[in-house]
Amino acid sequence: MAETAIRKREGEVSRVEHTRDRWTYCPNVDILEKDDELLVLADVPGVKAEDLDVEYENGLLTIHGKVEPRQDEEKTRFLRCEYGVGDFYRTFRIGEGIDHSRIHAELKNGVMELHLPKTDQVKPRKITVKVQ
């Protein structure tokens, strides 16, 4: 996998684009912030749990789901073909306030739920006000 950096005028890297030998789709994602975790919901239809790779390193979250073709294109006579097949790939800068040892994910009906527990240092803290 090759990476190409898109640069701003000042020479800073704006984003990284990955090139592959097959189609790659950007999954739709919702990210919710809760008191004790960030919850990432990602649409990855056609991805099996064993073909889903999630990495979190130095505040960078990467989701990569591999999708195999459903039909053998050489043996199939399509009357209409609108559904593209390819991998899912998405990267986010999340930050360092995540307890990486407790990250876990579930896959159900083509939707991945990724739980990113917050460290105690970034969790909201309730302050008790005393009456004098």
The domain spanning residue 105 has which CATH number?
2.60.40.790
In this predicted model, what pLDDT tens digit does every residue of 108-118 receive, in sequence order?
999 999 999 99
Residues 6+ apart with CB under 8 A from 72: none
State the total domains in the chain.
1
pLDDT surpassing 80 at residue 9: no
98 inside domain: yes
The residue with tokens 């592959």 is: 20
128 inside domain: no
14 inside domain: no
46 inside domain: yes
**Residue 121 CA from chain centroid, whole number:** 24
Copy the structure tokens of residue 64.
């990569």
Domain that holds residue 45: 23-69+80-117
pLDDT surpassing 60 at residue 30: yes
In this predicted model, what pLDDT tens digit does every residue of 53-66 receive, in sequence order?
999 988 899 999 99
